Amino acid sequence: MNRREFFHTATGAASGLLLLKPGAAFGYGANSAVRLGLLGCGNRGTHVATSFAQNTAAQVVALADIFPDQLEAGHAHFNALNTSLGHPAIDGNLLFHGPHAYEQLAGSTGVDLIQISTPPFFHVQHLEAAVAAGKHVYCEKPVGIDAAQARHALEIAKRVRPTQSVDVGFQCRSAPPIAAIAQKIQAGALGKIAAITAYYFAPASVEKPSSGASADEHRLRNWLWDRALSGDILVEQNIHIIDLCNWLLGAHPLKATATGGRNILTHAGDCWDNYQVDFTYPNDVRASFSSTQFGSYGLFEAGLRLFGAEGAATIPYAGPVQIIGAQPWAWTESMTASAAQGKFAANGAFEDNLAFADRDKERTFIDSIVSGPAHNQIAAGVETALSCMLGRMAGYHQREVAWENLLAHGEKYKLGMNLEQFETTASYSGS
């Protein structure tokens, strides 16, 4: 199967093309712009909002960030982008900075959709404000970094209005090769599934310099190093692979054992640099997951393999996507690619099998806003986040942890800083 065949055969798949229906159900005229406000003008946030603007009916009209310099960089970037697309520059009244920028953005009547691309510790807080304001929301993963935040997110999910669309950034599900092989697996192409091996081997995150900054500001700018801000590598980065495991099996893990530690990294921060997790899913399906996040020698490999009674499936970020066994199948374009390691992209702009993942995820989301039906992916996002927290807790406590143990534990991470100190940061020159 290739992309052309998949688009013709996939019914309602996440990678479907955006078709804007006339007389749209939710008050948007045919092909009218959805006004997007970006919350978090960092690397990933800028990439995703740019993709929205280039590939969908969304138009970036507002920006918010705790730091004026990041807001200024975002302002320059999106003004240039809007000019290239024939859109007006961003109104200075829709530029917000400081610890209350998220509230100001949520309260803006000129914004329809808020993209949450802030450090994970803040995702649920920012999600609550956006949902309460009646905005559509595209929230990056994870939906919560501890069990308390996860429970809070589930309460927020109950308040989402029937005409509000809320998506969680699990774009890997929308990559055409992955969406296509998922259809085969979920239709039984492998027979009874017994085991999964999964992996995410990535280079270390690069320090963002902050000359003269306070310790708190350095923490915020380098949130990937910080357990409370990021949730650790298992919850923040590796979550994409665990999400694919959950999705393909149609369930979350029941228990986990894990090891790991901080064996290589020496910089400030407390995130582990490696994990080895064994998950047990319903029907005694075992998933073995390994990850690393260190080194500057360019190693990057991510993906999973599923083993069933009648076949096995290979689903890498780069390399052949295929099924061998009683019902052999392959994604044609991937078979001509090298099985060697892919290229890591810190902003999530991966190539190879994920080349169209962001674009197709965003198109389906915008279509849900313009034409319906609306999405509410909060609960699914929480389920995957909790699955990763399960493995993290098993690793930290060096013992088997059951799903019920995680939910009953009451773990709650604290930020350990007062964000009001950033209210006095020098005013943004462009506002």
Q: What does the pLDDT read at residue 55? A: 97
What is the pLDDT tens value at each position of the chain, 431 positions in all?
A: 665 554 445 433 333 333 333 334 455 655 579 999 999 999 999 999 999 999 999 999 999 999 999 999 999 999 999 999 999 999 999 999 999 999 999 999 999 999 999 999 999 999 999 999 999 999 999 999 999 999 999 999 999 999 999 999 999 999 999 999 999 999 999 999 999 999 999 999 999 988 889 999 999 999 999 999 999 999 999 999 999 999 999 999 999 999 999 999 999 899 999 999 999 999 999 999 999 999 999 899 999 999 999 999 999 999 999 999 999 999 998 887 555 557 777 766 778 999 999 999 999 999 999 999 999 999 999 999 999 999 999 999 999 999 999 999 878 999 999 999 999 654 444 54
pTM for the predicted model, two decimal places: 0.92
The CA distance from 28 to 370, in Å, is 6
**Burial, 387: exposed, middle or buried (Cβ in 10 Å; 0-12, 13-18, 19+)?**
buried
Which domains are assigned to the chain?
A: 7-172 (3.40.50.720), 176-354+377-409 (3.30.360.10)
Q: Is 385 left (phi over 0), alpha (psi -120 to 50) or beta?
A: alpha
Q: Where are the alpha helices (DSSP H) in 60-146?
A: 68-84, 101-106, 123-132
Provide the edge-to-edge strand list for the sheet that holds 311-316. 329-330, 322-325, 311-316, 301-308, 193-202, 285-293, 274-281, 255-261, 401-402
Amino acid in position 290: S
E strand or H helix that includes residue 258: strand 255-261
**Burial, 372: exposed, middle or buried (Cβ in 10 Å; 0-12, 13-18, 19+)?**
middle
In the structure encoding, which two tokens stand for residue 342, read together?
């892919």
CA nearest 44: which of 131, 165, 141? 141
Find out whether 178 and 315 touch, Cβ atoms under 8 Å. yes
The CA distance from 345 to 115, in Å, is 20
